[in-house]
């Protein structure tokens, strides 16, 4: 009989505080200012390769706005209803009709106030979207989200583990960085699986247990 787990570890939520900025300090500062209404900018466009942290920042901005008692919404590959802060992730996946809606939403935000956050894999000029929408996205602040170095990824892993009550040794971190996938979301997913196994077997995080977890993931 498999042991039933009571997951008492706190649910990890992306926030601006637990985002490891690395070379993105200017972007993080601009986002803080935009959310505190200390800027006239109505649109921020973030772009970069998958796993660089775009989704984290958009979700964190929405969470921060809600904590301030304001309305905010985050969607991926869709266009949401109006809110004071609107975050649209993976803009390059929008169909023609959704692109028109986003174009109109962009103009509405500029005229009526609010903040529109949009992310994509490419810079605005390289997006395969309607010309008018692509142009609009390039009008506001545009930031290339820089990926983390291995050292910065290590700090992010330690931070994520501590939020779950895990104390990772340097050996565990280095093994995961060397043998795991390169993008941070995949590394964090392995760490979540390691946490589950630690709870199941009542063991602390170790390289042997991490190897078992990673081998199990490959066998799925």
Establish if 108 belongs to a structural domain: yes
CB neighbours of residue 131 within 10 Å: 7
Residue 142 in 3-state DSSP? strand
Identify the domain containing residue 109 by its residue range.
25-144
Domain boundary among 87, 118, 144: 144
What is the residue whose two structure tokens read 């809606």? 101
- Put simply, whether the predicted model's pTM sits higher than 0.85 gets the answer no
Half-sphere exposure of residue 62, counting CA atoms within 13 Å on the CB side?
Answer: 21
Q: Tally the domains of the chain.
A: 2
In a shared domain, residues 159 and 90: no
pLDDT, position 149: 87
Same-domain pairing of 70 and 96: yes
Please give the Cα distance from 4 to 190 (Å, whole number).
20
* Residue 122 lies inside a defined structural domain of this protein: yes
H helices of the chain, where? Answer: 25-35, 54-67, 96-112, 131-139, 150-163, 170-179, 184-201, 207-218
pLDDT, one tens digit for every residue, the chain (220 residues): 333 333 444 456 888 988 888 899 999 999 999 998 767 789 999 999 988 899 999 999 999 999 999 999 999 999 888 899 999 999 999 999 999 999 999 999 999 889 999 999 999 999 999 999 999 999 999 999 998 888 888 988 998 888 888 889 999 999 999 999 878 888 888 999 999 999 888 889 999 999 999 988 764 4
Q: Which residues fall within 8 angstroms of residue 55, CB to CB, at 6 or more apart? A: 14, 76, 89, 119
The predicted pLDDT at position 12 comes to 64
Q: Is there a single domain that holds both residue 171 and residue 137?
A: no
Same domain? 133 vs 154: no
């Amino acid at each position: 009989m498999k042991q039933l787990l009571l997951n008492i570890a706190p649910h990890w939520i992306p926030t601006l505080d637990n985002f490891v900025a690395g070379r993105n300090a200017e972007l993080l500062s601009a986002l803080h200012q935009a959310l505190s209404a200390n800027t006239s900018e109505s649109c921020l466009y973030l772009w970069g390769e998958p796993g660089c942290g775009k989704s984290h920042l958009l979700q964190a901005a929405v969470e921060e706005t809600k904590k301030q008692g304001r309305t905010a919404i985050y969607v991926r590959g869709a266009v949401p209803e109006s809110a004071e802060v609107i975050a649209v992730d993976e803009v390059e996946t929008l169909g023609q009709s959704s692109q028109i809606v986003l174009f109109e939403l962009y103009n509405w935000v500029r005229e009526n106030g609010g903040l529109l956050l949009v992310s994509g894999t490419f810079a605005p000029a390289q997006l395969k979207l309607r010309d008018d929408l692509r142009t609009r996205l390039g009008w506001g602040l545009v930031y290339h989200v820089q990926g983390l170095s291995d050292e910065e990824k290590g700090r992010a892993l330690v931070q994520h583990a501590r939020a779950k009550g895990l104390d990772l040794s340097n050996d565990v971190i280095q093994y995961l960085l060397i043998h795991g996938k390169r993008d941070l979301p995949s590394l964090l997913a392995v760490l979540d699986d390691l946490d589950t196994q630690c709870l199941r077997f009542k063991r602390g995080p170790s390289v042997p247990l991490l190897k078992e977890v990673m081998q199990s993931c490959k066998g799925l």
